[in-house]
Amino acid sequence: MSSGVEITRPEGAIPLAQKYSGLSEEEVKKRIIAYNPPADSRFPNQNQTKNCFQNYVDFQRCVRLRGEDYKPCQFFERNYKFLCPTGWIEKWDEQLENNTFPVKL
């Protein structure tokens, strides 16, 4: 693996090529890609900054209100993890820990 590439995979995860070996290209396409945050009519245009931030805030509010095990909160979690750059997420997580997050949750 080249030094410019980092792959983060949870423990016990099966490599994708192994998981999808033996399947045709069409089958792989159907199963993979899986998740795309659904189109949100509140953010119809090119600027998706608020989409990313709103999902992050909604997830934080959801877990504070309903607890971390509440499954519907995962909708917001998936959305922000797919939309937001990792650097932004890390910065916001740090702000939450330091109590300097700019939104009242």
Partner 1 sequence: MMSWCQLGFQDAGSYFMEEFIYFHDFTMMIILGVLSYVVVFLVLGLVSGWVDSGFVEGQLIEFMWTIFPALILIQIAFPSLLLLYLIEDFSKSFLVCKVIGHQWYWSYEIKTESAEILASVDCYMLPREGAFGMRLLLTDEFLMLPINVPVRILVTSDDVIHSWTLPSLGIKGDAVPGRLNQLNVTLSRKAMFYGQCSEICGANHSFMPVMLMGVTSPQFFMWLDRL
> Contact residues for partner 1 (CB under 8 A)?
1-2, 4-10, 13, 15-17, 20, 25, 28-29, 32-39, 45-49, 51-52, 77-78, 81-87
Q: CA separation (Å) from 86 to 8, 31, 90?
A: 12, 25, 6
Closest separation in Å from C-beta 43 to partner 1: 9
Nearer to partner 1 by Cβ, of 33 and 97: the residue is 33
Helix, strand or coil, per DSSP, at residue 95: helix
Closest separation in Å from C-beta 65 to partner 1: 22
Q: CA separation (Å) from 100 to 50, 92, 95, 105?
A: 19, 9, 5, 11
